[in-house]
Amino acid sequence: MRYAHIVGWGKCTPEKVMTNDELATIVDTSDTWIRDRTGIGQRHLAGPKDTCTSLAVNAAVEALDVANISAAQIGMIIVATSTPDFAFPSTACLVQDALGADASGAFDLSAACSGFVYGLSMASDAIKAGSIDYALIIGSDVMSRVVDWKDRNTCVLFGDGAGAVVLQASDQPGGMLTSVLRADGSGGDMLYCRSTYRDKIVVSAPQDTAAPTAASGNSKLADAGFMYMNGREVFRFGTRVLASATRDVATRAGWEIGDIDLIIPHQANNRIIEAAAKALGLPMDKLYSNIEHYGNTSAATIPIAICDAVNHGRLRPNDRIILVGFGAGLTWAAAALQWGTPRILSRTNRTLNRVRLGLANVRSRTRRIFRKVEDSLFVNNDKHVKPQAAPPAIAPRSTPPAVEPEKEQKV
Ligand X SMILES: CC(C)(COP(=O)(O)OP(=O)(O)OC[C@H]1O[C@@H](n2cnc3c(N)ncnc32)[C@H](O)[C@@H]1OP(=O)(O)O)[C@@H](O)C(=O)NCCC(=O)NCCS
List C-alpha distances in Å: 60 to 64, 139, 304.
Answer: 6, 10, 12
Q: Which one, 292 or 319, has the nearer CB to ligand X?
A: 292
Query: For ligand X, which is the closer residue by CB, 113 or 249?
Result: 113
Please, which residue, 231 or 342, has the CB nearer to ligand X? 231
Is residue 274 classed exposed, middle or buried when 0-12, 13-18 and 19+ CB atoms within 10 A define those classes? middle
CA dihedral 340, 105, 298, 336 (to 10 degrees): -30
- Active site residues per annotation: 113, 266, 296
Q: What's the DSSP call for residue 172? A: S
Yes or no: say if 7 and 66 are a contact pair by the CB < 8 Å rule. yes
Please, what is the minimum distance in Å from the beta carbon of residue 47 to ligand X? 24
Nearest to 72 by CA among 100, 92, 107: 100
List residues binding ligand X (CB under 6 A).
29, 33, 37-38, 113, 152-153, 156-157, 191, 229, 231-232, 234-235, 238, 268-269, 296, 327
Do residues 146 and 96 lie in contact, with contact meaning Cβ atoms separated by under 8 Å? no
* Dist. CA 70–CA 64, nearest whole Å: 6
Q: Which is nearer to ligand X, 57 or 291 (CB)?
A: 291
Q: What angle do CA 54, 56, 58 make, to 5 degrees?
A: 70
Measured CA to CA, the distance from residue 63 to residue 70 in angstroms comes to: 10
Q: Least distance from C-beta 269 to ligand X, angstroms?
A: 4
Minimum Å gap between C-beta 242 and ligand X is 10
Q: Closer CB to ligand X, residue 235 or residue 255?
A: 235
* Pairing label, strands 105-109, 76-80: parallel
Comparison of 232 and 316: residue with beta carbon closer to ligand X: 232
276-280 long-range Cβ contacts below 8 angstroms, 24+ apart: 276/239, 276/242, 276/243, 276/246, 279/239, 279/242, 279/243, 280/243, 280/246, 280/247
